[in-house]
C-alpha cells in the first residue's frame, strides 16, 4: 500500500519538477513547481514528518509559489526562455544528471537502508516541539531575526523602486 | 514501509534536475525554481536520514523547519530583486544583466 | 468472500468518503446553504426570497438553479488560458472538500484523523489564493485579474492572523489534532469562554478568507463586477460558486470543533445533531454579516489586517499563555 503511494508521489514530484523547468510558459512552470512541492509534502507525510509536511504546504505553496506567480504576472510576458547558446554547458549538465541518476539507480538496487518501520519517539510531535524550544531556542531566535531582516530588505528594494519612478 | 533508499533516490534525482536548471537556464525566475528544487532535495534527504537512526531522532525535522523558513526568505528577497531589475532593465536574462560592470 | 468491488463499495471508508461526511452530503449541503443564504438575506431585507421551487418555501430553488446552469452554453473567452480557466474552479472544489475530510463530525465519523489536523486544515486553506490568482489571470480580462490580485493580497494578509488566532487554542489544549481539542473540551468546557478574543478573530479572518461580505472585495459586484468570477459561463459558474459554500461549511465546522465543543452536548440528542445545530448557527451568523455590514475598502482591509488583527492575535496568544501558566501574583 505504502509502496504504491510512494511510487505515485515520487513520479508526480519528479515529473512536475522537470515540467517546472521545461514548460514554455512561466505561469505553467510555477504551477508545476507548486505540484512538485505538494508531492514533496506527501513524501514528508510518508516519512511520519507530518508537521513538517503541513509547513511545507503552507510556506512553499501558500507563500513562495504565490510570490513567484505574482512576480511572473507583474514582470510580464516578455520572459520567454531565450534559445540556448551554451551547448557545451548543457551537455555538461546532462552528463552530470545522468551520472547522478546512475548513482541513484545503483544505490536503490542495493536497498542498503531499510529504515525502521515504526518511527515511535523520533517523529513525536511533543519531542519535536520541545527540541525546537529547549534545545534550539537560540537558533530559532536568530532565524526570526534573519526573517525580519529579509522582509525589511525585500520591502526596501520594492519601495526604492517606486520612488525613482 | 518503503525502504529509505527510495527516498534518497528521489532526493538525488531532484538534486540533478536542480543542477541541470542552474547550469542551463538563463531566466532569473527559472534559476530561482532550480534553487528551490535543490532546497527540497536537501530537505527530503535530511528527513530520510533522521529516520535512519534507530530509534529515529527529531533533529532532522527541526533542521528542515529552519531550512523551509530560509527558503521562504531567499524567495522573497530574490523575487524583490527580480522585480526591481525588470523595472530598470527590460529583461531578466542573467547573462545580459551587466549593469554593474565597470 | 464476496465480490471485491461490492466489498469496496460497501466498506465504511468508501461510504464515508462518498456519502456522509464526504462528497454527496457536501454537494447537497452546499446547495441547501445557498437556499438558506438567499432566504435569510431576504428576511433581513423584508422580502420573501425563493418561494416557488417546492412546497416547503422554495427549498429546492438551488437545485433548480443548478439544473438551469448546467444547460447553459459553455463559452470560453477569446484568448483565455483554457487549462487554468477550467482547472481552477475544479481544484477549488477539491480543496474545499478536502477541508471537510479533517473534521470530526461525531465520535468515529471522521475521514482523516491525523495528529496535526489543525495545521493541515490551515495549510490547505493557504492553497486557495494561488487558485484564485490563476483563475483571475487565465480569463485574460481586466476585471478578473484585478479580482485575482485583490484575492491574493487579502487572503495572504488574513492567513497570518488566522494561524495566530488558532494558536491560542493549541496552547490551551496542548494538542494539534482536532479530536484532541474536543477531548480537552469534554473535561474543561467549551473553549469559546477562555478564548473569546481568539474566537472573534477567527470569525473575522475566516470571513475574509471566504471572501464574504464585508470582505468580498475580490468579487465585489458594484466595483469590479464579480471580480475573478466575471468571465465564467453557466456550468463553470456553478463550479465557481460551489467552493464558496463548501468553504463556508468547512470553516463553520472548524469553528464549532475548536471553540464550541464540536459534537459534545447533553445526552438525549445524538452527537451528530449537536454538531450540525452548532455549525448551522455559525453559518447563519456569518450569513447575517452579509446583510448587515457594508463592504470595506481595500486599503482599510489591508491596514486592519496587518495592524489591528495581528496585534490582537498576539494579545490572544498572551492570554492563552496566562491561562496555561496562571496569573502571577504581583
Q: Enter the CATH code of domain B4-88.
A: 1.10.287.3510
Q: What is the mean pLDDT of residues A96-118?
A: 61
Q: What is the mean pLDDT of residues B15-33?
A: 82
Q: What is the pLDDT of residues C66-82, one digit of tens each?
A: 888 888 888 788 777 88
Residue with cell 485574460: C140
Hey, is the C-beta of A23 within 8 angstroms of any chain C C-beta? no
Of A79, A112, A141, the position where a domain reaches its end is A79
In a domain, A60, yes or no: yes
Q: Over chain B, what is the mean pLDDT?
A: 81
Structure ipTM: 0.85
Q: What is the pLDDT of residues C138-169, one digit of tens each?
A: 887 788 888 888 888 888 888 889 988 888 88
Nearest-Cα residue of chain A relative to residue C171:
A129
DSSP labels, C275-330: HHHHHHHHHHHHHHHHHHSPPPPHHHHHHHIIIIIHHHHHHHHHHHHHHHH-PPP-
Domains held by chain A: number: 2
Domain residue ranges in chain B? 4-88
CA distance C319 to C89: 39
Question: In C, what residues contact A, Cβ < 8 A?
Answer: 81, 83-84, 114-116, 119-120, 122-124, 126-127, 129-130, 133-134, 137, 145, 149, 152, 156, 159, 163, 176
Residues near C181 by Cβ (< 8 Å), separated by ≥ 6? C118, C169, C173, C175, C191, C257, C258, C262
Determine whether the interchain pair C120/A70 forms a contact, defined as Cβ–Cβ distance below 8 Å.
no
pLDDT of C278 higher than 50: yes
pTM equals: 0.84
CA distance B13 to A104: 7
Same domain, A74 and A129: no
Q: Are A60 and B68 in contact (CB under 8 A)?
A: yes
In a domain, A111, yes or no: no
Minimal C-alpha gap between A57 and chain C (Å): 6
pLDDT of A165 higher than 50: no
Question: Can you list the alpha helix ranges (DSSP code H) found in C104-233?
Answer: 117-125, 128-138, 142-173, 178-188, 196-209, 221-224
Chain A from 28 to 67: CB within 8 A of any B CB: 29-30, 33, 36-37, 40, 43-44, 46-49, 51-52, 55-56, 59-60, 63-64, 67
In a domain, A134, yes or no: yes
**Orientation of helix C128-138 relative to helix A66-75, angle to 10°:** 20
Hey, is the C-beta of A158 within 8 angstroms of any chain B C-beta? yes
Collapsing DSSP to helix, strand or coil, A118 comes out as: coil
Q: At A40, which CATH number?
A: 1.20.120.1200
Chain A from 52 to 111: CB within 8 A of any C CB: 53-55, 57-58, 61-63, 65-66, 69-70, 73
Q: What is the mean pLDDT of residues C224-237?
A: 76
Residue A44 lies in domain: 1-79
Share of chain C above pLDDT 70, in %: 98
DSSP labels, C97-136: HHHHTT---BTTB-S---TTHHHHHHHHHTTHHHHHHHHH
Same domain, A5 and A69: yes
pLDDT of A1 higher than 50: no
The closest of C280, C327, C305 to C37, measured between CA atoms, is C280
Q: What is the pLDDT of residues C88-122, one digit of tens each?
A: 888 888 888 888 888 888 777 777 778 888 888 88
Q: What is the mean pLDDT of residues A82-111?
A: 61
Of A79, A112, A145, the position where a domain reaches its end is A79
Domain residue ranges in chain C? 76-325
Amino acid at each position: 500500500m505504502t509502496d504504491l503511494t510512494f511510487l505515485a508521489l515520487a513520479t508526480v514530484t519528479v515529473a512536475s519538477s522537470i515540467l517546472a523547468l521545461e514548460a514554455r510558459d512561466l505561469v505553467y512552470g510555477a504551477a508545476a513547481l507548486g505540484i512538485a512541492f505538494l508531492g514533496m509534502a506527501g513524501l514528508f507525510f510518508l516519512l511520519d514528518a507530518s508537521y513538517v509536511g503541513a509547513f511545507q504546504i503552507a510556506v512553499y505553496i501558500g507563500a513562495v509559489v504565490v510570490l513567484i506567480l505574482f512576480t511572473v504576472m507583474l514582470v510580464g510576458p516578455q520572459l520567454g526562455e531565450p534559445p540556448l547558446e551554451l551547448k557545451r554547458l548543457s551537455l555538461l549538465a546532462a552528463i552530470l544528471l545522468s551520472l547522478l541518476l546512475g548513482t541513484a539507480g545503483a544505490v536503490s538496487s542495493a536497498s542498503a537502508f531499510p529504515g525502521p518501520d515504526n518511527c515511535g519517539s523520533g517523529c513525536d510531535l511533543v519531542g519535536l516541539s520541545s527540541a525546537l524550544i529547549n534545545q534550539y531556542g537560540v537558533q530559532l531566535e536568530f532565524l526570526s531575526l534573519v526573517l525580519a531582516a529579509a522582509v525589511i530588505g525585500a520591502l526596501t528594494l520594492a519601495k526604492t523602486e517606486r520612488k525613482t519612478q | 514501509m518503503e525502504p529509505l533508499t527510495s527516498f534518497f533516490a528521489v532526493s538525488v534525482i531532484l538534486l540533478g534536475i536542480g543542477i541541470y536548471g542552474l547550469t542551463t537556464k538563463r531566466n532569473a525566475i527559472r534559476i530561482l525554481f532550480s534553487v528551490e528544487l535543490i532546497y527540497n532535495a536537501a530537505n527530503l534527504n535530511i528527513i530520510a536520514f533522521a529516520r535512519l537512526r534507530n530509534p529515529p531522532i527529531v533533529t532532522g525535522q527541526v533542521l528542515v523547519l529552519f531550512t523551509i523558513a530560509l527558503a521562504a526568505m531567499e524567495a522573497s528577497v530574490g523575487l524583490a530583486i527580480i522585480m526591481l531589475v525588470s523595472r530598470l532593465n527590460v529583461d531578466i536574462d542573467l547573462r545580459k544583466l551587466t549593469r554593474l560592470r565597470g | 468472500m464476496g465480490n471485491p468491488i461490492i466489498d469496496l463499495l460497501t466498506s465504511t471508508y468508501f461510504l464515508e468518503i462518498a456519502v456522509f461526511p464526504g462528497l454527496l452530503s457536501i454537494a447537497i449541503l452546499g446547495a441547501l446553504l445557498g437556499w438558506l443564504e438567499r432566504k435569510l438575506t431576504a428576511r433581513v431585507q423584508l422580502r420573501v426570497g425563493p418561494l416557488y421551487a417546492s412546497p416547503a418555501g422554495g427549498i429546492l430553488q438551488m437545485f433548480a438553479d443548478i439544473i438551469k446552469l448546467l444547460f447553459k452554453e459553455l463559452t470560453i473567452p477569446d484568448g483565455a488560458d483554457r487549462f487554468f480557466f477550467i482547472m481552477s474552479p475544479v481544484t477549488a472544489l477539491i480543496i474545499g472538500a478536502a477541508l471537510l475530510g479533517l473534521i470530526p463530525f461525531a465520535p468515529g465519523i471522521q475521514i482523516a484523523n491525523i495528529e496535526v489536523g489543525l495545521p493541515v486544515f490551515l495549510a490547505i486553506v493557504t492553497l486557495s489564493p494561488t487558485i484564485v490568482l490563476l483563475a483571475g489571470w487565465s480569463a485574460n480580462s481586466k476585471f478578473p485579474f484585478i479580482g485575482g490580485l485583490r484575492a491574493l493580497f487579502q487572503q495572504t494578509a488574513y492567513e497570518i492572523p488566522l494561524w495566530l488566532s488558532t494558536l491560542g487554542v493549541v496552547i490551551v489544549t496542548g494538542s494539534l489534532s482536532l479530536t484532541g481539542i474536543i477531548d480537552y473540551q469534554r473535561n474543561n468546557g467549551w473553549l469559546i469562554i477562555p478564548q473569546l478574543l481568539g474566537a472573534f478573530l477567527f470569525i473575522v479572518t475566516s470571513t475574509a478568507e471566504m471572501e464574504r461580505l464585508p470582505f468580498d472585495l475580490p468579487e465585489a459586484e458594484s466595483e469590479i463586477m464579480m471580480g475573478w468570477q466575471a468571465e465564467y459561463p453557466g456550468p463553470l459558474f456553478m463550479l465557481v460558486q460551489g467552493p464558496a459554500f463548501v468553504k463556508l461549511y468547512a470553516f463553520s465546522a472548524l469553528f464549532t470543533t475548536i471553540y464550541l465543543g464540536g459534537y459534545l452536548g447533553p445526552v438525549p440528542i445524538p452527537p451528530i445533531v449537536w454538531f450540525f445545530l452548532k455549525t448551522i448557527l455559525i453559518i447563519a451568523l456569518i450569513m447575517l454579516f452579509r446583510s448587515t455590514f457594508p463592504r470595506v475598502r481595500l486599503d482599510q482591509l489591508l491596514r486592519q489586517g496587518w495592524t489591528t488583527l495581528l496585534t490582537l492575535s498576539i494579545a490572544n496568544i498572551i492570554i492563552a499563555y496566562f491561562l496555561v501558566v496562571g496569573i502571577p501574583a504581583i
